[in-house]
Amino acid sequence: MTEHWLLLDIGNTHTVGGLFRTDGTRVAEVRFRTDSQCTADEYRVLLTQLFRERLGRDIWDLAARVVLSTVVPALESIVTRACHILPVLLVSARLQRDFELAIPHPEQLGADRLANVAGALGLVAPPLLIVDAGTATTFCLINRRRAYVGGAIVPGLETSWRALQARAAKLFSVELTRPDNAVGNTTETQIQSGVLQGYEALIEGMTDRLLSDAGLEGATLIATGGCTRLIRLSDRFRLVPELTLLGLFRYGQCNV
């Protein structure tokens, strides 16, 4: 009989939950704002309500286990308690996986990045570069031997925009809508151009520099993360919004 796994990716800003069958079929997905002040009971109620809207059934009657990735340490125990009697697999560098970590301190690598690497390697052959555009923007490099060799971390688009608003008193809030022309002729369009097209240029430029320094020119490029919906990357990037969930599923397969 096919089981269902509940996959939870808890980011600094948003949490994404997915229900997958063990044959890899995605059944349902929910997304909500991360709240580190939530109690276990509140998280359980929220997950119950959101999945019931998608499925018409109780998620806790369907799921046989939980695979959890979080970059918010305070929520590890809270979400584990919210899942009640279900076994919870917490993604970390200590778990079994089908790739290597060729870095000095693998225990420092975030669970979301581990999941992204696992998910990407389940889709395409290495070498790879993965961009995850979220609260922070991360770059992950995987060489031809399926080894994660490093990357880079920069402030995310919305993080940078909020910092600019907080520090520049005369700049007002604008809707983050991407202008077609990089040359703005009003303060509003100049902010939009600088924040959005400047962020695109950062990703494109860092990608080229990382590939060159790592000697991985020709690598497949994959982009994921909530901020990818606000920008327009070049056609060389393959957009995979569900990448982290796919990686959590792969971790579940490697750690049955």
Q: What angle do CA 181, 186, 191 make, to 5 degrees?
A: 70
Annotated binding-site residue? 226: no
According to DSSP, the β-strands at 4-10 and 63-70 are: parallel
From residue 75, alpha-carbon distances to 11, 26, 216 in Å are 10, 25, 36
Task: Tell me whether residue 112 is annotated as binding.
Answer: yes
Alpha-carbon span 9 to 16, nearest angstrom: 5
Whether 110 has a binding-site annotation, put simply, is yes
Q: Is the dihedral of CA 82, 253, 111, 130 positive or negative?
A: negative
For residue 23, indicate whether it is catalytic. no
Q: Is 98 annotated as a binding residue?
A: no
41 is in an annotated binding site: no
Q: CB count, 10 Å around CB of 204?
A: 16
Q: Is 65 annotated as a binding residue?
A: no
User: Is 9 part of any known ligand binding site?
Assistant: yes
The number of beta carbons lying within 10 Å of the beta carbon of residue 199 is 25
209 marked among binding-site residues? no
134 is in an annotated binding site: no
Query: Is 187 assigned a ligand-binding role in the annotation?
Result: yes
Catalytic residue among 23, 35, 112, 213: 112
Alpha-carbon distance of 225 to 241, in angstroms, equals: 6
What are the residues whose beta carbons fall under 8 Å from the beta carbon of 204, sequence distance 6 or more? 233, 234
Per the annotation, binding residues for K(+) are 132
Among all residues, which ones are annotated catalytic? 112
Per the annotation, binding residues are 9-16, 110-113, 132, 135, 187
Per the annotation, binding residues for ATP are 9-16, 135
